[in-house]
Structure 1
Amino acid sequence: MISREEANFYQENGYLLVRDVFNPDEIKEMRNAVDLIISRAAQSKFDKNHTWEGDYLGDEDVRKLVLKGFHEVHYHHASFNRAAVHPNMVAVLQQLIGPNVQLHHSKMLVKPPEKGAAFPMHQDYPYFPHTRHTMLAASVHLDDADEENGCLHVIPGSHKEGALPHVGKHYLDHRTYPISLGTPCVAKAGDVLFFNYLTIHGSNVNRSARPRRNVLFQYRDPQDEPLMETHFDWGMGLMVAGENADYFRFRERFAVRNNKD
């Protein structure tokens, strides 16, 4: 799916945009699934705004913006299961991570037209730190994305800086790392942006009349051990390529609670 030169580009720069990973029919099915999830959530107690909060925007501006995000989308609709293990995805992942690839979690992020919230620059590392740093995100574009509707920006090579101190764990100081510092990753629907969890990334406000819908899958080598207890997501541990040779050592540990709320 990708050349040796492209794999080397990822290792050097910490990101890689791969074109046409999914065909139009697959994208249409995932778009419809995202709309269904949002529609169901709007009728339940689980509907909420996931807008980032902080001094990178004024309070009044933040209140006007909207970001819809839901974890474990592959439990909501089968189209995301198929996407997570799609042969085109696996072909890229095995060149970037290795022969053995495990799904860590999935989520969707939707920026509505004209009021989609920004993502300040940040690393994903603080949320789920691991020992070998094989963790990467695969951001599937369900819509064309450009600077007008808030495409992702990355700072090439920033993964080599290691873990950086974040404001309240969530984002980097916007005065040192403004979104404008990043390289815009303009993409078409069906393209996938792969980036290491140490790569600094973010995105601006959606000021267009178009939505920006993305589905994101986080993957790792199954023997890349977590450094600490991290947030639990249902579905952690699904093998999408190769084997988990040390399953009984590295399996996720969790407890099931009876929540009556």
Structure 2
Amino acid sequence: MISEKDVEFYKQDGYLLVKNVFNEQEVEEMRNGVDRIVQRAADAKLDHNAAWQGDFIPAKELKKLVLKGFHDVHYHDAAFTKALVHPNMVAVLRQLIGPNVQLHHSKMLVKPPENGAAFPMHQDEPYFPHEKHTMMAASVHLDDADEENGCLHVVPESHKSGPLPHVGRHYLNHKEYPISMGTPCPAQAGDVLFFNYLTIHGSDANRSDRTRRNVLFQYRDPADPPVKDVHVNWGQGLMVCGENPTFREYHSDFTLK
């Protein structure tokens, strides 16, 4: 799926865009899955706006922005279970992480037309820090993304700087790290952007008349332990390929009513 040159680029720059990981039918299945999740959340009165709060955008503008985000989408629709272990995904993950790859979590992000919220520049590491920093994101594009509808921006080689201090654990100082400093990563539906969780990234608001839907899978080497007991969910630990070298019992953390 990718070449040795691609692997070297990922190691050096901290990100890699892989084209055509999913075909048109698979993308459409995931789009439909996203739409159904949003509808079921609304029907259950559990819908919410996941737009980030802060001083990186004027308060009046911030009120108008919307972001739909729900975690653990593979528990809501089988299209995402198939996607996260798709042979094309596994082929890339084996080369970027190693023979053993484990899912940490999944989530969906929907930026609606004209008022889709921005993501200020940040690292993912503060949310779920790990000892060896093997954690990576795989951002699956379900729509074509460009600068007009808020494609991702990354800062090449920023993963080499290690963990950086964040404002309230959420994002970097937007004056020091504006979104404009990042390299835009336009992509087409079916493409996947892989990036290390230390790579600085963010995205501008969707000011187009087009929706921007992404599904994010976070993967790690199972031999890379978390250093804090944070961002733990009851489905964490699914083996995507290879084996878990450490035996332990996995228990859900919810109580039946």
Q: Tell whether the structures are fold-level matches, with TM greater than 0.5.
A: yes
Matched-pair contact (CA < 8 Å) for 2:234–2:251: no
Please tell me whether residue 113 in structure 1 is matched to residue 113 in structure 2: yes
**CA deviation vs aligned residue, 1:134-166 (integer Å, no higher than 9, x gap):** 000000000000000000000000000000000
Q: Write the distance in 2 (CA, Å) between the matches of 1:156 and 1:55.
A: 25
Q: Write the distance in 1 (CA, Å) between the matches of 2:173 and 2:141.
A: 27
* Residue of structure 1 in register with 2:205 after alignment: 205
Q: Write the distance in 1 (CA, Å) between the matches of 2:175 and 2:252.
A: 39
The offset of 1:60, in angstroms, is 1.1
Matched-pair contact (CA < 8 Å) for 1:71–1:233: no
Q: Write the distance in 2 (CA, Å) between the matches of 1:109 and 1:148.
A: 17
Please tell me whether residue 26 in structure 1 is matched to residue 19 in structure 2: no
**Structure 2 residue matching 1:214: 3-state secondary structure:** strand
Please tell me whether residue 17 in structure 1 is matched to residue 40 in structure 2: no
1:10 aligned partner, one-letter code: Y
Task: Flag structure 2 segments of 5+ consecutive residues without an equivalent.
Answer: none
* Residue of structure 2 in register with 1:151 after alignment: 151
The offset of 1:258, in angstroms, is 4.8
% identity of equivalent residues: 68
After TM superposition, the structure 1 = structure 2 runs for residues 1-261 of structure 1, keeping only pairs within 5 Å, are 1-248=1-248, 255-258=253-256
The offset of 1:58, in angstroms, is 1.1
TM-score where L is the length of structure 1: 0.96
**Structure 2 residue matching 1:107: 3-state secondary structure:** strand
Structure 1 stretches of at least 4 aligned residues deviating more than 4 Å after TM superposition: 251-254
RMSD: 1.1
**Structure 1 residue matching 2:5: 3-state secondary structure:** helix
Task: Flag structure 1 segments of 5+ consecutive residues without an equivalent.
Answer: none
**CA deviation vs aligned residue, 1:82-102 (integer Å, no higher than 9, x gap):** 000000000000100000000
Q: Write the distance in 1 (CA, Å) between the matches of 2:76 and 2:174.
A: 34
TM-score where L is the length of structure 2: 0.98
Aligned length: 257
**Structure 2 residue matching 1:153: 3-state secondary structure:** strand
Query: Which deviates more, 2-11 or 41-50?
Result: 41-50
